[in-house]
A and B are shown apart, each in its own frame.
Chain A
Amino acid sequence: MTDDELIWRIAGGSGDGIDSTSQNFAKALMRSGLDVFTHRHYPSRIRGGHTYVEIRAADGGVKSRGDGYNFLLALGDSFARNPSENAVYGDEEIKPLSENLDDLREGGVIVYDEGLLDAEDVPNFEERVEENDWNVYPLDLRGLAKEHGREVMRNTAGVGATAALVGMDLDHIEDLMADAMGGDILEQNLEVLHDAYDQVNEKEFSHDLTVPEGEHDEEQVLVSGSHGIAYAAIDAGCRFISGYPMTPWTDVFTIMSQLLPDLGGVSEQVEDEIAAAALAVGASHSGVKSMSGSSGGGFALMSEPLGLAEMTETPLVLLEAMRAGPSTGMPTKPEQADLEHILYTSQGDSHRVAFGPSDPKECYEQTRTAFEIAYDYQIPSIVVYDQKLSGEYRNVDATFFDREPAPDLGSTLTEAELEDAPHDDSGKFERFRHDTENGVSPRSIPGQKGGRYLASGNEHWPTGHIAEDPDNRVAQVERRLQKLESVRGDLDERDQQTLYGDEDADFGLIVWGSQQGTVEEAVDRMNADGNSVKALGVSDLSPFPVEEVTEFVESVDEAIVVEMSATKQFRGLIQKHAGDFDGTLSSLLKYNGNPFEPAEIVEAVEIEQNGGGELPTAQTTLEPAAGD
């Protein structure tokens, strides 16, 4: 655990502006030259209900939210009060203080809004403060905000107080406020900011927490996984999106819907997810790069059009933003348990390509790959991520996104090329020819001269007409399957898996998706403590990188597969493709709605290496290797 970090948690009621305030503050920290990472916790509720955002900032090396935090700004849940001022709904109002104390580190700092929160109502507050050596600064943030005009500005007051307490100057915060607002509102906010800053700055501080120092790099940008995906789609030339809102997929859908009209594209919010995916198929069939997506329950409805795309060999990119299931599950909590759902949904010997990126950069890169593969090989490709990655902001170098746009339609012919393409005696284009090199038979687009064919979801002849002829059936099935092998070859060249840590280590961790950064951080800590551990972050989920994974597992004595699922889906996938490895693999599982923290992984490795012991928290499970 580094001491040179600020992990600031702002807590309040859902709908109290926590999100925008924290984003601005995160940006200010980034502009101060720090690496930042945000983590968002919110209830499935629009207004009120306890919510927090955590921002971790340090000079480099920030890969996860970390363990615990060291600064709490407790604003109070304004929606827990009814307008008559006195009535409070249960203990909602004090939750921003009471609910957050468990994770606050020893010696941490607390600022709370004494205008809204009564610390005396918080059970054992005084004792806990003393026990943990916390430094508490009550401040009437609400009163201060009201004094300058409006109560909602108490967030700004909180930020001002924070800056004073951690020795941060206000420049970046002021600039960001000026970008976001203007006129009287800006004036009032600036007054509140300074007033809070001054009031706190005059106090004697008993803590020694200061914001780390870094150098401002103007090229840094703060983006979420959803931004990575949306921008990748745009650079890939995607100009059509269709969807139906569902948390957390809605984030990408929203970003794309706001951008596409101005980029000459089309966004469609339609009646359901079956329609959404079917529209993406229709648009792609007609020559526009398109995408659709959803989260677990909505993706279940997309199973049908997914199969249609596969059978008609229509390029299709789908997103699946996982949340905890089954059924409607926990809408605002992450889990990685839709893995089997996305890999095996749809009838028949169906297949698709699937990628599981782990951070905003990989979201960008792998969504680009998903488009290229889908259009080159005429196959559905799915990007699967989760609620955590969807809304998690990190700083990335802006130049990372400066890629050439790639709007080409992959294996699609022009009219000139169609002239030389195979046609049957009636002049119909033989769109689904068997005899191809890599399983891909180039396609035409409706409206092109010389390209007419029938795309059918039934098994079909090379011209597309329905066929049940056994020889043709076998040839078509084999050709479609051959594409997967070709894709695997292509992906091997792209090498999207991440090998991390000490190359010679004999203890391994295997992880996919949003938990990768946390695992890497755990590896760093263990290796800094003199251990020898390495990790493999798997991004290609289908076709599976069998060789790479096998090599990794064989290079260690023992490996733990880390995943947010109760049924070991990822470990199952590894074993399905690469074998049992004679009890080398065990699992670290978490499925309580919260992602892993690095310390949990470190402890699990210790337990596994030393044979037995108590698990870090009651809500993680260490599953023995098969056959144990």
Chain B
Amino acid sequence: MSKAFSAIGEERDVERDEFTPGLEPQPTWCPGCGDFGVLKALKGAMAELGKDPEEVLLCTGIGCSGKLNSYFESYGFHTIHGRSLPVSRAAKLANHDLEVVAAGGDGDGYGIGGNHFLHTARENHDMTYIVFNNEVFGLTKGQSSPTSPKGHKSKTQPKGNAKDPIRPLSLSLSAGASYIARTAAVNPNQAQEIIVEAIEHDGFSHIDFLTQCPTWNKDAKQYVPYVDVQDSDDYEFDVHDRQEASEMMYETESALYEGTVLTGRYYEDEDRRSYQQEKQHRGDMPEEPLAERYFDDDYEWERSYDFIDRHK
């Protein structure tokens, strides 16, 4: 165990309460908001995995969703709108022993941060990304988001949104995520199981997390009843088969807007190297966590003087 980061990898039983900030304010989310479900599931998953709060870095974006780490006790980085992924990616490269989780809304992740989402999935960083999909911009008061249904009306879309919603699962698959699931706040048990799986997975895990927004999507029960595709005999497909997973995702994404909420695991590629492994394989990244060296008095730092000679 290293002295620099001794919170990492400590083995002990961890209580879910350890993830509840002591004196911090209670969540400011609206009553009935789906975000409570994510918080609950995330705490449960961390306790189940026995993670020490200090070995976890939770990076969020901006939005109601982005406040997640204000109510969750760990190292946190509340970044800026759409940028949680590049910040977390770098944290993982700086210290790959850290447990890095990024979270944000559908506007944050599929809109303003869409480009980062594509590239983080493509690179397959070993981290977990939870997108709170409530089909609207919550914090800025109900405008259409990339997942809002076509025709969605708001003060900035008075005639109804003319765009088709984005298909986050299919998008994620084609971009290269190696673990993809959808769950819903209305089912915290499934949600917790999925978060555990996602964290255990070596590679980029994307969870499209359906969170109802009773304030801007009036029907607070918008994701009920839901169906767990793994539990239902109506849906048979192999999560390791890209083609089958893709077809299932397509069906799921079409059905959502017709009122059928399908959730579960959609895809897992266990063979693909994570980005860190890929870089290490190429000699492009050290085996030891880079951040450790700054605390190691014995580490021999190379200096520019050694290659200045080339210029003689």
Q: Are B70 and A452 in contact (CB under 8 A)?
A: no
Q: Which of A232, A272, A286 contacts B98 (CB 8 A)?
A: A286
Q: Are A415 and B4 in contact (CB under 8 A)?
A: yes
Chain A nearest CB: distance from B121 CB in Å? Answer: 11
Number of interface residues of A (CB under 8 A): 82
- Taking the complex as formed, is B171 at the interface, i.e. its CB lies under 8 A from any CB of chain A? no
A282-B91, A286-B91, A455-B78 known; A222 vs B311 contact (CB < 8 Å): yes
Q: Are A240 and B94 in contact (CB under 8 A)?
A: yes
> Which A residues touch B118, using CB under 8 A?
271
Q: Are A401 and B308 in contact (CB under 8 A)?
A: yes
Q: Which of A122-130, A190-198, A402-410 contacts B (4 or more CB under 8 A)?
A: A402-410
Q: Which of A280, A289, A427 contacts B294 (CB 8 A)?
A: A289
> Which B residues touch A454, using CB under 8 A?
69-70, 75-78
7 interchain residue pairs of minimum CB distance: A426-B22, A282-B90, A287-B291, A447-B5, A231-B304, A278-B86, A282-B87
> Which A residues touch B299, using CB under 8 A?
407
List 18 interface pairs A-B (beta carbons < 8 Å), by A numbering: A222-B312, A231-B307, A234-B304, A237-B301, A272-B115, A274-B86, A287-B294, A308-B83, A404-B303, A407-B299, A408-B294, A415-B3, A425-B22, A425-B23, A426-B21, A445-B291, A449-B6, A452-B74
| Nearest CB in chain A to that of B122: its residue | A271
A278-B90, A282-B87 known; A448 vs B23 contact (CB < 8 Å): no
Q: Which of A14-22, A160-168, A261-269, A576-584 contacts B (4 or more CB under 8 A)?
A: A261-269
- Taking the complex as formed, is B219 at the interface, i.e. its CB lies under 8 A from any CB of chain A? no
Q: Which of A283, A287, A305 contacts B80 (CB 8 A)?
A: A305
Chain B nearest CB: distance from A317 CB in Å? Answer: 14
- Taking the complex as formed, is A424 at the interface, i.e. its CB lies under 8 A from any CB of chain B? yes
Q: Which of A231, A267, A409, A446 contacts B308 (CB 8 A)?
A: A231
| Nearest CB in chain A to that of B296: its residue | A407
Q: Are B86 and A264 in contact (CB under 8 A)?
A: no
Chain B nearest CB: distance from A291 CB in Å? Answer: 12
**A242 CA to B83 CA, complexed, in Å:** 15
Q: Which of B53-61, B154-162, B187-195 contacts A (4 or more CB under 8 A)?
A: B53-61
**A237 CA to B302 CA, complexed, in Å:** 9
Q: Which of B75, B115, B116, B302 contacts A446 (CB 8 A)?
A: B75
A305-B80, A424-B23 known; A259 vs B307 contact (CB < 8 Å): yes
**A458 CA to B62 CA, complexed, in Å:** 9
Q: Are B301 and A407 in contact (CB under 8 A)?
A: yes
> Which B residues touch A259, using CB under 8 A?
307
Q: Which of B208-216, B229-237, B259-267, B279-287 contacts A (4 or more CB under 8 A)?
A: B279-287
**Taking beta carbons and an 8 Å cutoff, which residues of A are in contact with B?**
218-223, 227, 230-232, 234-235, 237, 239-240, 242, 259, 261, 263-268, 270-272, 274-276, 278-283, 285-290, 304-305, 307-308, 312, 398, 401-405, 407-409, 412, 414-415, 424-428, 445-458, 463-466
Chain B nearest CB: distance from A230 CB in Å? Answer: 8
Q: Are B93 and A261 in contact (CB under 8 A)?
A: no
Chain B nearest CB: distance from A260 CB in Å? Answer: 9
Number of interface residues of B (CB under 8 A): 65
Q: Are B312 and A220 in contact (CB under 8 A)?
A: yes
**A261 CA to B281 CA, complexed, in Å:** 12
> Which B residues touch A456, using CB under 8 A?
70, 76-78
A282-B89, A454-B78, A465-B24 known; A446 vs B98 contact (CB < 8 Å): yes
Q: Are A451 and B119 in contact (CB under 8 A)?
A: no
Q: Are B115 and A223 in contact (CB under 8 A)?
A: no
Q: Are A452 and B54 in contact (CB under 8 A)?
A: yes
Q: Pick from A231, A282, A283, A428 the residue with the most CB of B within 10 Å.
A: A282
**A136 CA to B106 CA, complexed, in Å:** 70
A279-B89, A466-B70 known; A308 vs B79 contact (CB < 8 Å): yes
Q: Mark B3-25, 1 if CB is under 8 A from A, else 0.
A: 11111100000000000011111
> Which A residues touch B119, using CB under 8 A?
270-271, 275
**A432 CA to B165 CA, complexed, in Å:** 41
- Taking the complex as formed, is B30 at the interface, i.e. its CB lies under 8 A from any CB of chain A? no
**A445 CA to B97 CA, complexed, in Å:** 13
Chain B nearest CB: distance from A91 CB in Å? Answer: 38
Q: Are A448 and B7 in contact (CB under 8 A)?
A: yes
> Which A residues touch B87, using CB under 8 A?
278-279, 281-282, 285
> Which B residues touch A263, using CB under 8 A?
302
Q: Which of B55, B62, B94 contacts A287 (CB 8 A)?
A: B94
Chain B nearest CB: distance from A62 CB in Å? Answer: 17
- Taking the complex as formed, is B152 at the interface, i.e. its CB lies under 8 A from any CB of chain A? no
- Further 16 A-B residue pairs, CB within 8 A, beyond A283-B94, A307-B80, A428-B73: A222-B311, A231-B308, A234-B302, A239-B290, A264-B293, A304-B80, A398-B305, A401-B308, A426-B24, A446-B91, A446-B95, A447-B54, A447-B75, A451-B75, A454-B69, A456-B78
| Nearest CB in chain B to that of A467: its residue | B25
**A521 CA to B107 CA, complexed, in Å:** 56
Q: Pick from B25, B70, B87, B308 the residue with the most CB of A within 10 Å.
A: B87
Q: Are B80 and A401 in contact (CB under 8 A)?
A: no
**A579 CA to B190 CA, complexed, in Å:** 66
Q: Are B91 and A285 in contact (CB under 8 A)?
A: yes
Chain A nearest CB: distance from B119 CB in Å? Answer: 4
> Which B residues touch A235, using CB under 8 A?
303-305
Chain A nearest CB: distance from B90 CB in Å? Answer: 3
Q: Are B94 and A280 in contact (CB under 8 A)?
A: no
Q: Are B308 and A449 in contact (CB under 8 A)?
A: no
**A274 CA to B113 CA, complexed, in Å:** 10
> Which B residues touch A465, using CB under 8 A?
21, 24-25, 70
| Nearest CB in chain A to that of B25: its residue | A465
A240-B93, A424-B23, A455-B78 known; A288 vs B305 contact (CB < 8 Å): no
**A264 CA to B78 CA, complexed, in Å:** 29
Q: Which of A403, A425, A457 contacts B78 (CB 8 A)?
A: A457
| Nearest CB in chain A to that of B286: its residue | A264
- Taking the complex as formed, is B88 at the interface, i.e. its CB lies under 8 A from any CB of chain A? yes
Q: Are B83 and A447 in contact (CB under 8 A)?
A: no
- Taking the complex as formed, is B67 at the interface, i.e. its CB lies under 8 A from any CB of chain A? yes
**A402 CA to B57 CA, complexed, in Å:** 38
**A519 CA to B286 CA, complexed, in Å:** 46
| Nearest CB in chain B to that of A221: its residue | B311
| Nearest CB in chain B to that of A307: its residue | B80
- Taking the complex as formed, is B257 at the interface, i.e. its CB lies under 8 A from any CB of chain A? no
Q: Are B86 and A270 in contact (CB under 8 A)?
A: yes
- Taking the complex as formed, is B309 at the interface, i.e. its CB lies under 8 A from any CB of chain A? yes
Q: Which of B8, B90, B115 contacts A447 (CB 8 A)?
A: B8
| Nearest CB in chain B to that of A456: its residue | B78
Q: Which of B4, B75, B90 contacts A281 (CB 8 A)?
A: B90
A398-B309, A447-B55 known; A427 vs B279 contact (CB < 8 Å): no
> Which A residues touch B290, using CB under 8 A?
239-240, 264-266, 287-288
Q: Are A407 and B293 in contact (CB under 8 A)?
A: yes
Chain B nearest CB: distance from A208 CB in Å? Answer: 32
Q: Are A464 and B76 in contact (CB under 8 A)?
A: yes
**A452 CA to B21 CA, complexed, in Å:** 11
Chain A nearest CB: distance from B275 CB in Å? Answer: 10
**A259 CA to B4 CA, complexed, in Å:** 26
Q: Are A448 and B4 in contact (CB under 8 A)?
A: yes
Q: Are A455 and B77 in contact (CB under 8 A)?
A: yes
